[in-house]
Amino acid sequence: MNGFVIAAVLCAALMHAGWNVLLKRHAGQAAGGVPTMAIVAGSGLLCAACLPFVAAPAAASWPFIGASALVQTCYYRLLAATYRDGDLSHAYPLMRGCAPPIVALAGLVLGEQLRPGQWLALALVCGGVLAIFLDAQRQARAARRTTLLALATACVIASYTLIDGAGVRRSGAPAGYTMWIFVATALALVVQGAASERRALLDAARRRLGLLLGGGALSAGSYGIALWAMTLAPVALVAALRETSILFAAAIAALVLRERIGRARLLAVVLIACGAVAMRLA
Side-chain half-sphere CA neighbours of 155 within 13 A = 8
* CA-based nearest residue to 264, from 18, 87, 122: 87
pLDDT score for 156: 92
Query: H helices within 29-171, ranges in order?
Result: 34-50, 62-85, 88-109, 116-137, 141-171
pLDDT score for 189: 87
- Are the beta carbons of 249 and 93 closer than 8 angstroms? yes
The total of structural domains in the chain comes to 1
Provide the b/e sequence for 1-30 (b: ≥16 CB within 10 Å): eeeebeebbbebbbbbbbbbbbbbebbeeb
Angle CA 126–17–6, to nearest 5: 90
- Please give the span between the terminal C-alpha atoms of the chain, in angstroms, as a whole number: 17
pLDDT score for 184: 95
Alpha carbon distance 82, 249 (integer Å): 15
Alpha carbon distance 182, 187 (integer Å): 9
Residues contacting residue 85 through CB under 8 Å, at least 6 positions apart: 28, 142, 145, 146
The structure's pTM equals: 0.85
- Are the beta carbons of 182 and 47 closer than 8 angstroms? yes
Residues of the chain with pLDDT under 50: none
Q: Give me the domain span that covers residue 181.
A: 3-281
Alpha carbon distance 105, 248 (integer Å): 26
Alpha carbon distance 181, 183 (integer Å): 5
Alpha carbon distance 64, 59 (integer Å): 10
pLDDT score for 199: 66
